[in-house]
Structure 1
Amino acid sequence: MRELPPTAGLPVQWRDLLPRRADADLESRLRTILGIGELQITCSGTAALVTALITLSRNSARSEVIVPAYTCPLVAMAVTHSGLRLRVCDLMRDGLALDTDMLASLCSSRTLAILPTHLGGRVADIGATRDCAAHYGVWVIEDAAQALGARHPDGTPVGMLGDIGVYSLAAGKGLTMYEGGLLVSRHAELRAKMRVVANELAPKKRWWELRRSIELVGYAAFYRPRGLQWVYGMPLRRALSEHDFDAAAGDRYRMRIPLHRVGNWRRGVAARAAVRLPEHLATLQQQARRRIAHLQEIPGVEVMGDAPGAQGVWPVLMLCMPDGHSRDGVLARLWGAGMGLGIPFAHALPDYQGLQDMVPRLAVPNARDFAARVLTISNTPWLDDATFIRIVEVIRQVCDPGAAVRPSVSMRARATTPD
């Protein structure tokens, strides 16, 4: 059985695993490819966020961090791990930006940082967030874990328009070392302080680095349609059969956040793979633009896009369905079918049972509505046109059961030719 990945990660090739003396280091290579500027390697995107938060808190009496009500549960865990208080802000209606009215009501002299998120590679408008932060003297940390390579409307790399940016190099991301992260800032003094904190928080731990190295070799072996059925597809279908949707969405995490230094070999693997990243991102963008047009023809379906003028990256196509019933109808037929469908996260943050001690229960209607209606289609090049047509047909049938399915001529003509 072919099993497509839920996101369009850059595959690791076997030659990436072989060290070469002439290699450029990962930091230099990413500065050249992405124009990010000076950056810091961490053992995960969560570790990057913890490093940023602890650095800021050491130089301030403020103790509150405002995060989107719909984001990765690891964000809440990172805030708590850093000894800070989590404040949750609703989303704008049918959007990814923070609700401006609620954000203004949450900001105060106690607010240390605001964490806007660029979910699924989409570039959120953070203009209002920056204005609010400037008014209260608050730091802005861009959560660009899923948006490495994206750019704001003015051309600034996502992650560099706020004060700090964090990225993930986890499995399935655009670039990976199985688990890893990047930390950036446009402030030289802040970069220096974060390096000091990172050296304190993340000592060398040989066991963790050995474990991650073995997992990276496994990723190189299994991250392909034939291998993913064993390491991803089978656990997914088991979780779905048990109605454990948190596990199916990948939202089960250990409460302990590993902190350790990344070894030279894994850095080298990522550096060698990074050479292929620009072409990979361009391929995904071209494929996404072509396929979005077919999804936009389905009544009631909204394909999530970027802030005007911004250029995101496309690990997935993220859809907002007309209602929760239609979203669940599509997932019932296609989630677990090996076609790369899924959801970003299972719930809004206040609705995770495992986070009840971290996240206050409060009204976040837009985030809950978004959580109920969103689904993602992998934008992996392994998803051929014929399979994509089948996905479009199912979505159209669920949204309008009486409609006849007629894929466009251009799509049918390409269905026999893999991307």
Structure 2
Amino acid sequence: MLTTTSIPFLDVRGITDLVREDLDLCWERVLADGRFIGGPEVETFEARFAEYCGTEHCVGVANGTDALELILAALDIGPGDEVIVPANTFVATVEAVCAVGARPRFVDVRADTLEVDPDAVAAAIGPRTAAVMAVHLFGQMVDLDRLVPLVRRHGIALVEDAAQAHGARFGGRRAGSVGVAAAFSFYPGKNLGALGDGGAVVSDDAALVTRIRQLANHGRANQGHHLHELRGRNSRLDTLQAALLTAKLRRLDEDNARRRSLMQRYRERLPVGCVSVAQHPRAESVHHLAVVQVPDRAAATAALDAAGIGWGLHYPVPCHRQPAFAEFAEDRLPVTENAAERILSLPMSPTLTVAQVDRVSDVLSRAAGP
């Protein structure tokens, strides 16, 4: 059941209204052309998104989970392989590993950023390790200064899960431009969100991208529509979503800058006990989520509810504690487990106002008490 809040957790309708005229034109153009799968709109978006990410190639796919799975499949990662995954991530990251028959190896995260701990990755690397999932969580890229040399030294693939990091940078490099390939989601709530599901893979590896494109299109051979060289699947970004995403991409940097400004305001106004996730000094976050840790989450959420303020949890049950992945839970991961009891996601959208941030902060200050 949907409820109306005076400050929504995510203002999807307001974000859409920012580009409503452009979206109406996209709909009219696609409807008039009658090509609803493929076509120039998809090619245009792929070219522009690749350029935006600083990569050579882009393949539009059906969703972000498919993007991750297709990368792993194209890398021939499967049974007998292990993929290192931070336990603090959405389950889609783990689902993709399991879908190709590989084994997820869960590791802990850093206490300050709640992103994958390079020391934990180093300790988990073994003879069966085929890849590391670099999950750019909450809008911030992982510590690439430490992670990239590590994977290169061991000769394993770095796959970027950039579903929450559209436009984020680390050391000047965009999310998607560092690993062997990167997966993006365009779920409506993302910084670059479609009006439905959608996803993409970006990479500089032309051969890998060609294989991913084949796998995503029923394994069709490049030279023949009726020849299927691979056992593929149906995972394509549809024409309408591609056109809408191209229109929204034009204002992504502006919207991300607004998010950074709002997050800074949160940091200035939140009470002492409400600690926001830290930002690496070489990272430029796009603040997909405004995540904080609070000492008493029940009291904080009750106060927000009473004030008509939306909130979320990302993520209260870590992946290694999910029943679906219990067989892979080998160790306790104390940082992830402790954070899961304290994390709280506050309202964050480019349409959010400074006054609304102040109101959220004031409500949390009163809930924290003297």
Instruction: Say if 2:73 is the partner of 1:104.
Output: no
Unaligned runs of 5+ in 1: 203-257, 403-419
Give the aligned partner of residue 63 of structure 2.
Answer: 44
Q: Does 135-144 or 46-55 show the bigger shift?
A: 135-144
The separation in 2 between residues aligned to 1:373 and 1:124, in whole angstroms, is 21
Confirm or deny: 8 A CA contact 2:50 2:57 kept in the other structure.
yes
Give the aligned partner of residue 279 of structure 2.
Answer: 306
Instruction: Say if 2:60 is the partner of 1:85.
Output: no
Give the aligned partner of residue 253 of structure 2.
Answer: 278
Instruction: Say if 2:133 is the partner of 1:133.
Output: no
Give the aligned partner of residue 185 of structure 2.
Answer: 168
Task: Select 2:298's aligned residue among 292, 313, 328.
Answer: 328
How has the CA–CA distance of structure 1 residues 335 and 354 changed in structure 2, closer, same or farther, with 3 Å as cutoff?
A: farther
Q: Percent of aligned pairs with the same residue?
A: 26
Which deviations, in whole Å up to 9, do the C-alpha atoms of 1:14-60 show, x marking residues without a partner?
514332689682112324445444211111110000000111126x8
The separation in 2 between residues aligned to 1:320 and 1:123, in whole angstroms, is 19
- Give TM-score, length-normalised by structure 1: 0.73
Residue 157 of structure 1 aligns with an amino acid whose one-letter code is R
Instruction: Say if 2:363 is the partner of 1:394.
Output: yes
Residue 303 of structure 1 aligns with an amino acid whose one-letter code is S
The separation in 2 between residues aligned to 1:311 and 1:34, in whole angstroms, is 14
The separation in 2 between residues aligned to 1:30 and 1:336, in whole angstroms, is 41
3-state SS of 1:161 partner: coil
The separation in 2 between residues aligned to 1:131 and 1:61, in whole angstroms, is 26
Give the aligned partner of residue 230 of structure 2.
Answer: none
Confirm or deny: 8 A CA contact 2:218 2:234 kept in the other structure.
no
The separation in 2 between residues aligned to 1:397 and 1:3, in whole angstroms, is 18
The separation in 1 between residues aligned to 2:163 and 2:240, in whole angstroms, is 22
More strand by share: 2
Instruction: Say if 2:20 is the partner of 1:17.
Output: no
Task: Select 1:6's aligned residue among 9, 23, 26.
Answer: 9
How many Å apart are 1:275 and its aligned residue?
A: 2.4
How many Å apart are 1:361 and its aligned residue?
A: 4.5
Which deviations, in whole Å up to 9, do the C-alpha atoms of 1:339-368 show, x marking residues without a partner?
2311112211122234335x3252100111
Residue 315 of structure 1 aligns with an amino acid whose one-letter code is H
User: Where do 4+ consecutive residues of structure 1 move more than 6 Å?
Assistant: 20-24
The separation in 1 between residues aligned to 2:198 and 2:348, in whole angstroms, is 22
Give the aligned partner of residue 336 of structure 2.
Answer: 367
Residue 110 of structure 2 aligns with an amino acid whose one-letter code is M
How many Å apart are 1:6 and its aligned residue?
A: 3.1
The separation in 2 between residues aligned to 1:36 and 1:119, in whole angstroms, is 21
Q: Does 262-271 or 285-294 show the bigger shift?
A: 285-294
How has the CA–CA distance of structure 1 residues 183 and 337 changed in structure 2, closer, same or farther, with 3 Å as cutoff?
A: farther
The separation in 2 between residues aligned to 1:131 and 1:156, in whole angstroms, is 16
How many Å apart are 1:311 and its aligned residue?
A: 1.1
Task: Select 2:170's aligned residue among 131, 149, 152.
Answer: 152
The separation in 2 between residues aligned to 1:261 and 1:346, in whole angstroms, is 32
The separation in 1 between residues aligned to 2:57 and 2:211, in whole angstroms, is 13
Aligned-residue Cα RMSD (Å) equals 2.7
Residue 46 of structure 2 aligns with an amino acid whose one-letter code is E
Q: Does 73-82 or 92-101 show the bigger shift?
A: 92-101
Number of aligned pairs? 339
Confirm or deny: 8 A CA contact 1:57 1:112 kept in the other structure.
no
The separation in 1 between residues aligned to 2:146 and 2:64, in whole angstroms, is 25
How has the CA–CA distance of structure 1 residues 38 and 360 changed in structure 2, closer, same or farther, with 3 Å as cutoff?
A: same
Give the aligned partner of residue 310 of structure 2.
Answer: 340
